[in-house]
Amino acid sequence: MSPDSRKIRLIMDLRRAGVSDLRVLQAMERLPREAFTPDGFRDQAYEDTALPIACRQTMTAPIAVGLMTQALEIGERMRVLEIGTGSGYHTAVLARLCRRVYTVERHRDLLAEAEQRFARLTLSNITTRAGDGTLGWREQAPFERICVTAAAKDVPPILAEQLAVGGLMVVPVDHGPREQRLLRVRRTEQGLETDDLGEMRFVPLVPATVRRSDMAS
């Protein structure tokens, strides 16, 4: 099967899984996912599967990317904070939909590779930072949307604080030892409202207490 027909099949799978937002579908149709997949996995770029990337992390499966992005209801004037750049694929999808993406990744090596991909694809509305994403990005807060791409123990409180009133965050949260639920959190004048969007699997969000010596250089 050619890459183009694989891509068309993926778009059909996305629709079947409930992704109906045309802007999200179009962004995913236009981005070459194979530019983000690791060597040796290019032929799986349009399969709905998570793929291994460097630093023992994984690239999120495309249907999860589509569902998370759709749940964020992103407008083209918005500023979006992403925690966990990884391969940079989800970052690129977000960047096609909003004004600017601020993305934080704790592994410098992953970030450096992702930055090269953004440059090659001339995605110029992405600002990157190496560091601990559980701390958010104070200087740029508040954000209208926040996308957390690794599973937290609970909704990270600092990220909730950095969400604008009326803003939305999607975050996978542990639910018992083996299950994770994707939550959508809306910040209102009164506090936080949470919707459960269903089960999904992610690599863990490494908590803020991690020592610097644990970080990849």
Residue 172 backbone phi and psi in degrees, to 5 = -75, 135
- Closest CB 189 distance from ligand SAH, rounded Å: 29
Residue 107 in tokens? 């592994």
Give dist(CA 36, CA 42) in Å, integer. 9
CA–CA gap between residue 78 and residue 56 (Å, rounded) = 32
Overall size of the chain counted in residues:
217
What would the two tokens of residue 197 be?
């969007």
Least separation in angstroms between CB 29 and ligand SAH:
17
- Rounded to a whole number of angstroms, the minimum distance from the CB of residue 47 to ligand SAH is 14
Query: Angle between the 22-30 and 3-16 helix axes, to the nearest 10 degrees?
Result: 160
H or E stretch covering 163? strand 163-175
* Binding segment (CB under 6 A) for ligand SAH, from list 4-12, 98-106, 164-172, 176-184: 98-106
- Sequence letter at residue 6: R
Residues 135-164 that bind ligand SAH (CB under 6 A): 149-150
Shorter beta-carbon distance to ligand SAH: residue 165 or 216: 216
Sole window of 41-49, 70-78, 190-198, 203-211 interacting with ligand SAH (rule: CB under 6 A): 203-211
Q: Which of 68, 91, 65 is closest to 80 using CA atoms?
A: 91
Residue partners of 107: CB distance under 8 A and separation at least 6:
54, 55, 57, 130, 215, 216
Indicate which single residue of 17, 35, 158, 206 sits in contact with ligand SAH (rule: CB under 6 A): 206
Which residues inside 104-133 make contact with ligand SAH, applying CB under 6 A?
104-107, 110, 132-133
Residue in 79, 90, 145, 187 binding ligand SAH, rule: CB under 6 A? 90
State the minimum distance, in angstroms, from the CB of residue 201 to ligand SAH: 11
Chain positions 47 to 86 lying near ligand SAH, rule: CB under 6 A, are 57-60, 83-84, 86
Binding site for ligand SAH (CB under 6 A): 57-60, 83-84, 86-87, 89-90, 104-107, 110, 132-134, 149-150, 203, 205-206
